[in-house]
Amino acid sequence: MLPRVQRIRRGDRVLCYHRPTGTRLPDLPEDHPEFVAAWARAESGMPDRAPPVASGSVAKIIRDVRQSKRFLDYSDAYRAAMLRHMDAIADSYGKAPVSGVRAKHIEADLSKLDANPANARLKAWRLIMDHAETAGLAEKGLTASVGNRIVKTDGHATWSQAEVDRFRARWPIGTPQRAALELLAWTGARVSDGARLSRGNIGADGVLSFRQAKTSGMAYVPWTSPLPTWARGWEAERATMREAVMIGNGFTLLETSYGKARSIKGLSNLISDAAVLAGIVGRSAHGLRKYRLTAIAEAGGTAHAIMAWGGHTTLSEAERYTRAANRKAMIIGAEQEQNAVNAAPDTCKQAK
């Protein structure tokens, strides 16, 4: 849960405020991107009423980082994540002089965490120590020797076409499970974005566009606009998606039966629970993003097409999908070529 949030019950409602500033926060789940964004804005404008801290201390550098242009230029969601880690660092090491921080101290802090949160904590440490280095208070390149933790997983598994078909067979159009799958599978949106997509994201040109909560990168998805040449065979799938999604008249496309936007966790659980009931094990909502981006690559879409559809901020991220598709095409091509070779003698015999 986010720190410094005051919760006041009013009947069956819970009103949330940012405690230091008194800012009223949106009536949304606390993990909703818009709630986190409002909280982050309140945090960045919070007056410094905390007790004074020693000059040159880790706590002082953290306060300086929070007001720096580099930090304020980050997306709301990323700032919120970094604030949580910097608060934890301040609690444990705030009184220590930043000049005394060594790589072994950072390693010790990371050792308390699992791989993914440890890598996020390391990013927070790098922000702190980079700022201290610029101010001449820390040795140069101190965090360079601290490596990222190895995450022993391939991440969220990509859904296969057979699994998507199985899900569709179990959950017909008209169910929220089907609407959620169709929207995420077509747009390739992360759940943090899929939960807040609305009709307002669909432009007059027939393109659904949205700024991603995680990276602030723009994603552009053909909604009713003409499909690219390599995606012409997807028209029926797109029509089915629109039929499944555009049923209600709510603000968000995947709102609950109570007319409220789904939370990120709620949407994620909706997909994973429905998948299990359809006999599909080990598949998540994020795997549907990989399903779409893989499909674009295998259909012949370029890395730039994947970058536009998926909202990637760097070309290298998108190129992972095209490289995998190219390798697969090479194997398929080799098999076809071998079949042609094997068939050649029979053809010759027939010619004789």
Could you tell me the CATH number of the domain that includes residue 17?
1.10.150
Residue range of the domain that includes 178? 161-332
Instruction: Tell me the pLDDT band of 86, cut-offs 50, 70 and 90.
Output: very high
Q: Between 327 and 200, whose confidence is greater?
A: 200
Task: Indicate the burial class of 85 (C-beta count within 10 angstroms; 0-12, 13-18, 19 or more).
Answer: buried
* Residue 204 shares a structural domain with residue 113: no
Residue with the two structure tokens 């490289």? 323
Measured distance CA(263)–CA(249) in Å, rounded: 18
Task: Output the six-digit token pair for 338.
Answer: 């071998």
Bridge partners, 252 (sequence order) = 198
* Residue 98 shares a structural domain with residue 174: no
Measured distance CA(289)–CA(152) in Å, rounded: 21
* Residue 209 shares a structural domain with residue 310: yes
Q: Do the domain assignments include residue 153?
A: no
Q: Between 201 and 333, whose confidence is greater?
A: 201
Q: pLDDT above 90 covers what percent of the chain?
A: 58
Q: Do the domain assignments include residue 62?
A: yes
pLDDT at 65 over 70: yes
Domain count, the chain: 2
Q: Which pLDDT score, from 0 to 100, does residue 41 have?
A: 85
Cβ atoms 151, 145 nearer than 8 A: no
Helical ranges in the chain per DSSP H? 33-44, 58-66, 69-72, 76-93, 103-110, 115-134, 161-170, 176-187, 191-194, 235-245, 264-277, 286-299, 303-310, 315-351
Mean pLDDT of 143-157: 77
Cβ atoms 226, 321 nearer than 8 A: no
pLDDT at 255 over 90: no
Measured distance CA(252)–CA(307) in Å, rounded: 25
* Residue 26 shares a structural domain with residue 111: yes
In order, the DSSP letters of 232-290 are: GGGHHHHHHHHHHHTTS-SSBTT--TTS-PPPHHHHHHHHHHHHHHTT--S--SHHHHH
Q: Which pLDDT score, from 0 to 100, does residue 47 have?
A: 64
Mean pLDDT of 23-33: 87
* Residue 103 shares a structural domain with residue 45: yes
* Residue 128 shares a structural domain with residue 56: yes
* Range in 128-137, 263-272, 308-317 the model is least confident about: 308-317
Q: Which pLDDT score, from 0 to 100, does residue 1 have?
A: 72
Instruction: Tell me the pLDDT band of 241, cut-offs 50, 70 and 90.
Output: very high
Q: Do the domain assignments include residue 155?
A: no
Asked which of 145, 176, 205 is the last residue of a domain, the reply is 145
Q: Do the domain assignments include residue 156?
A: no
* Residue 328 shares a structural domain with residue 189: yes
Q: Do the domain assignments include residue 186?
A: yes
Instruction: Tell me the pLDDT band of 218, cut-offs 50, 70 and 90.
Output: very high
- DSSP at 204: T
Mean pLDDT of 37-53: 77
Measured distance CA(260)–CA(237) in Å, rounded: 27
pLDDT at 167 over 60: yes
* Residue 204 shares a structural domain with residue 258: yes
pTM equals 0.59
Measured distance CA(159)–CA(326) in Å, rounded: 19
Q: Which pLDDT score, from 0 to 100, does residue 33 have?
A: 80
Q: Between 48 and 23, whose confidence is greater?
A: 23
pLDDT at 198 over 90: yes
